[in-house]
C-alpha cells in the first residue's frame, strides 16, 4: 500500500514538570499507592519528552507545578482549546480540582497568547476526554464519557466552541479517558482501540473514520494510543512497539519516548501534553 507523504504542522504545547509527582491516591486502575514512584526519574523522562517535542520544532510552554497536586504533570486534563477559545476543565475527583485554577490562570495571564476562556459548568477533564480534528468534516470534536467527563459537558463544549461534538461512550475502566483509547494522527484521521468503546460508539467511529488505524488491547495497555502526533511524527511510549509498527505502516514516523514513571499514575505521552490551539 502506498501513502502520500505525511506532513508535520508546527504546534504549541503546554506541559507541567512532575516535580511533585507521587501516587498517593488511586482514581484509576493503573494507580497503586503501594508502589513507590521515582520522582527524579519521572522528571528526567518528562524532560526528554519536552526536548523531543522542542527538537521537532514545536513550541512548548511550561506550567509551574504546585505542591499537593501530584497529578498536575498530566497537563492534558486542564483545558481544551479550539481556535483561540478555551473550554476550562472541572475535575471529577476533589484531589485534582484545583489543577483547573492553575490552567485557567495560565490562559488568563496572556503570556501564551490571547484566549477567550469559558468556565465550565459540567465535569470534564479537558483533552483527557476531548480531541479535535480540524480537517475532518470542517472541524470535528470527539468526546469521551463513561468514567470522568459528564456527557452534559459535551453539549456545553459544543456551545462554547461552535464545533460539532460527537459523544463516544467508553466502557473499559482501564481506558477511562478518551486519550487512552483514541488519538488524532493528523488533522483528519485517528487511531483507536475499538474494544474501549460501546458497540454503538464503535459503529460511529467506523462511519466517521473508515481509514482509521485500528489498535488492539495490547497496544492500548502499552499506552500506545496515548500519543502526540504533529501529522508526521508520532511520539509514543517506548513500550508500545507494536503500535509503533502500525503507525509506521500507515506512513507516519514513530518517535518512542520512555515514560515508565508516568504510567504508574495511569498516563503517558498525551496525558502530559496539552495542545494550545490559538
Ligand atoms: N492519575 C491521573 C488521573 O487518574 C492520570 C490522568 C491521565 N491523563 C490523561 N489525559 N489520560 O486523573
| pLDDT tens digit sequence for 174-229 | 999 999 999 999 999 999 999 999 999 999 999 999 999 999 999 999 999 999 99
Give CA–CA dist 169/163, Å, rounded: 19
Give CA–CA dist 81/275, Å, rounded: 8
**Beta-carbon-side half-sphere exposure of residue 276 (alpha carbons within 13 Å):** 24
Sorted by sequence, the CB contacts under 8 Å of residue 177 that are 6+ apart come out as 77, 125, 128, 129, 144, 147, 148, 170, 271
DSSP letter at 141?
Answer: E
Instruction: Determine the longest span between alpha carbons in the chain, in angstroms.
Output: 50
Whether residue 103 lies in the annotated active site: no
pLDDT at 4: 73
Mutation test of ligand 1: which of 22, 46, 271 has the most ligand atoms closer than 8 Å to its C-beta?
271
Give CA–CA dist 269/224, Å, rounded: 9
Residue 170 Cα to ligand 1 midpoint, Å, equals: 15
| pLDDT tens digit sequence for 8-24 | 999 999 999 999 999 99
pLDDT at 263: 96
pLDDT at 3: 60
pLDDT at 110: 84
Q: What is the pTM of this model?
A: 0.97
Active-site residue, selected from the candidate residues 58, 103, 154, 177: 177
Q: Which residues line ligand 1 (CB under 6 A)?
A: 27-28, 31, 71, 74, 76-77, 96, 128, 177, 179-180, 265-267, 271
Mutation test of ligand 1: which of 96, 177, 259, 270 has the most ligand atoms closer than 8 Å to its C-beta?
177
Whether residue 16 lies in the annotated active site: no
Q: Measured from the CA of 176, which atom of ligand 1 is nearest? A: 11
DSSP letter at 138?
Answer: T
Residues of the chain with pLDDT under 50: 1
Q: Which residue has the cell 513550541?
A: 59
DSSP letter at 65?
Answer: P
Q: Measured from the CA of 23, which atom of ligand 1 is nearest? A: 1
Residue 266 Cα to ligand 1 midpoint, Å, equals: 6
Handedness of CA 22, 28, 33, 37 (dihedral sign): negative
pLDDT at 111: 85
Amino acid at each position: 500500500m502506498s501513502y502520500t507523504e505525511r506532513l508535520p504542522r508546527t504546534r504549541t504545547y503546554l506541559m507541567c514538570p512532575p516535580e511533585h509527582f507521587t501516587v498517593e491516591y488511586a482514581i484509576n486502575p493503573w494507580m497503586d499507592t503501594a508502589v513507590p514512584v521515582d520522582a527524579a526519574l519521572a522528571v528526567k523522562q518528562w524532560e526528554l519528552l519536552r526536548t523531543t517535542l522542542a527538537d521537532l520544532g514545536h513550541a512548548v510552554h511550561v506550567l509551574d507545578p504546585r505542591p499537593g497536586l501530584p497529578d498536575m504533570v498530566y497537563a492534558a486534563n486542564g483545558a481544551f482549546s479550539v481556535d483561540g477559545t478555551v473550554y476550562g476543565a472541572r475535575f471529577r475527583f476533589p484531589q485534582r480540582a484545583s489543577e483547573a485554577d492553575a490552567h485557567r490562570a495560565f490562559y488568563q495571564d496572556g503570556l501564551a497568547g490571547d484566549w477567550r476562556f469559558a468556565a465550565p459548568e459540567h465535569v470534564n477533564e479537558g483533552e483527557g476526554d476531548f480531541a479535535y480534528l480540524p480537517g475532518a468534516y470542517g472541524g470535528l470534536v470527539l468526546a469521551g464519557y463513561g468514567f470522568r467527563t459528564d456527557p452534559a459537558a459535551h453539549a456545553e463544549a459544543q456551545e462554547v466552541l461552535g464545533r460539532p461534538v460527537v459523544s463516544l461512550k467508553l466502557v473499559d475502566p482501564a481506558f477511562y479517558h478518551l486519550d487512552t483509547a483514541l488519538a488524532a494522527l493528523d488533522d483528519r484521521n485517528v487511531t483507536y482501540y475499538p474494544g474501549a468503546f460501546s458497540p454503538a460508539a464503535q459503529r460511529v467511529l467506523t462511519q466517521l473514520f473508515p481509514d482509521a488505524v485500528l489498535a488492539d488491547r495490547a497496544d492500548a495497555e502499552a499506552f500506545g494510543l496515548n500519543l502526540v502526533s504533529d501529522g508526521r511524527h508520532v511520539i509514543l511510549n517506548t513500550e508500545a512497539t507494536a503500535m509503533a509498527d502500525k503507525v509506521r505502516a500507515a506512513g507516519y514516523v514513530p518517535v518512542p519516548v520512555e515514560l515508565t514513571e508516568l504510567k504508574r499514575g495511569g498516563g503517558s505521552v498525551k496525558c502530559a501534553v496539552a495542545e494550545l490551539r490559538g
